[in-house]
Structure 1
Amino acid sequence: MMINSPAIVIHSLRYSEADLIVTLFTKTNGLQTYIQKGVLKSKRGKIRASFFQPLTILEIEASHRNKGTLERIKDARVLSHYASLHTDVIKSALVFFISDILKSSIQEEEANLDLFEYLQTTILWLDTHDTIGNFHIAFLTKLTQYLGFYPDDSNLNDDCFNMQEGIFQSEDTNIYCVSGNHISKFKEFLGTTFEGSMNIRLSKNTRSEILTMLLVYFELHLHGFKKPKSLSVLNEIFT
């Protein structure tokens, strides 16, 4: 079966001297993994190794034989040529962080149009904006909505956030209940627009505390989720 679909590059891994194993989140078929033979040494081929930088948005034509082996991409082209995403140091750090998050978060080999459109929209937004200090906080918070564990915001007047249940409550009931100034600031991200969240004023320490809390929240609600290896780099930049 041949598929034609927009696709977002999640991860690529060198395999042998000239091959790449690439993981893409496709619009039509969800998460898919392909092997591209010889792409690292090919100088004239239609498909370039540079196409598979993290979060590149492609249009692909691929053969799906569904025989339990890695599939092949027959043709690919870049849909969106970024202005700054892979050249700006801060944005590059965010790109690797986001791709690490998505690698641990997306597992379904089926279409999720809402999630795809969210990722495409936010990636393009990051490429074209400069006020991005809260981007990773806003991105993760909104991502929970598409992954099925967005916090219940019906009791925002309560001070304690129960990460295990994803609710706000008046007192601690388990070891995953957290409170403090960072939770008060986190509430501001709930229900606001993505652009509006960039105007939320956070100290470096508070931003770090919210990020740490969100990663624990992801660990609690996603089987197999691992804290990104790129977290230390991101913390150096934003904290």
Structure 2
Amino acid sequence: MAIIQTKAIVLSSLKYSDTSLIVKCFTEEEGVKSYLIRGVLKAKKGGLKIAYFQPLTQLNLIAKHSNKSTLHTIKEVQILNPYKTIYKDIVKQSVVLFLSEVLANSIQEEEANRNFYNYITTALLWLDLHDKITNFHLLFLLNATRYLGFYPDIDENDTSFDLLSGNFTASVYEKNTISGNEFYHFKKLLGMNFDTINMVSFSKNERQLVLKTIIKYYELHLDGFRKPKSLEVLETVFS
């Protein structure tokens, strides 16, 4: 048993019994960890509050990490970088719910990945401060592939892309190859950052096409990746 102080991002929470939660976090110090939060669903003053464990909340934790169990315990918690708009805006809430589901499916390592951790926290603070966010989730997911190990290797002159190999291909009829409009709109996002994302314009159908392509890209590169249940909600919000 070790006492650890770390920053953490909430990836998911699952009800456990009538009063408790199992919360999965991406910690800065030790990668993915799951915590059993006993009694948090009971109404009581003081102690841990359920509001601390909303999707993608940034926390400061003092926790007990066990060597013998995959479930750990939290001694103290504070909200770090409290969001001003994310949980008040239905669109941003939907984006965060969707991204938390994707990240919970994507990040499995029980080891530190500080660059990825910093990317996520910085991106969330950007989301909290900006209003024009219709393409945020697309760029977030595409740029996250840098840290997951499969960022697209595409030259600006390429006209088709093999989603499985992550490279340009001349063979446009292969099963996992994208070309034409599908590839053109996917390629628009490459090299973008959040401050320039509004320079990219998509129609509703184009945005859905790009998202579908990115989700397929994740499915091909991450073992056990499941299509997010919140995908339909997100498509409704951006209709």
On whether the aligned pair clears a TM of 0.5, the verdict is: yes
CA shift for structure 1 position 211: 0.4
Cα shift readout 1:24-82 (whole Å, capped 9, x = no counterpart): 10000100000011111152233211100001000000011211251100000001211
How many residue pairs match? The answer is 238
Provide the residue aligned with 2:126 in structure 1: 125
1:143 and 2:153 are equivalent in the alignment? no
Provide the residue aligned with 1:226 in structure 2: 226
Provide the residue aligned with 1:102 in structure 2: 103
Provide the residue aligned with 2:92 in structure 1: 91
Cα shift readout 1:89-126 (whole Å, capped 9, x = no counterpart): 10000011001100110000000000000000011111
Could you tell me whether the CA contact under 8 Å between 2:7 and 2:58 is conserved in 1? Answer: yes
3-state DSSP class of the match of 1:213? Answer: helix
1:5 counterpart letter in structure 2? T
CA shift for structure 1 position 219: 0.3
Could you tell me whether the CA contact under 8 Å between 2:139 and 2:193 is conserved in 1? Answer: no
- The share of aligned pairs that are identical, in percent, is 45
Counting only pairs closer than 5 Å after superposition, residues 14-93 of structure 1 correspond to structure 2 as 14-93=15-94
Provide the residue aligned with 1:186 in structure 2: 186
Provide the residue aligned with 2:174 in structure 1: 174
Q: Where in structure 2 are there 5+ consecutive unaligned residues?
A: none
Could you tell me whether the CA contact under 8 Å between 1:159 and 1:171 is conserved in 2? Answer: no
Could you tell me whether the CA contact under 8 Å between 2:34 and 2:70 is conserved in 1? Answer: no
Could you tell me whether the CA contact under 8 Å between 1:46 and 1:76 is conserved in 2? Answer: no
Distance 2:109 2:70 in 1: 17
Give RMSD over aligned pairs. Answer: 1.2
Distance 1:5 1:69 in 2: 17
Could you tell me whether the CA contact under 8 Å between 2:204 and 2:238 is conserved in 1? Answer: yes
Instruction: Name the TM-score, length of structure 1 as normaliser.
Output: 0.96
Distance 2:153 2:84 in 1: 37
CA shift for structure 1 position 199: 2.0
Tell me: CA distance 1:164–1:177, structure 2 relative to 1, closer, same or farther (3 Å): same
Provide the residue aligned with 1:200 in structure 2: 200
Cα shift readout 1:153-181 (whole Å, capped 9, x = no counterpart): 2x331211110111123332520011122
Cα shift readout 1:126-164 (whole Å, capped 9, x = no counterpart): 1110010101110111010110000002x3312111101
101-110 vs 67-76, greater mean Cα deviation: 67-76
51-60 vs 172-181, greater mean Cα deviation: 172-181
Distance 2:162 2:70 in 1: 42
CA shift for structure 1 position 189: 1.1
3-state DSSP class of the match of 2:150? Answer: coil
3-state DSSP class of the match of 1:87? Answer: coil
3-state DSSP class of the match of 2:199? Answer: coil
1:219 counterpart letter in structure 2? E
3-state DSSP class of the match of 1:8? Answer: strand
1:135 counterpart letter in structure 2? F
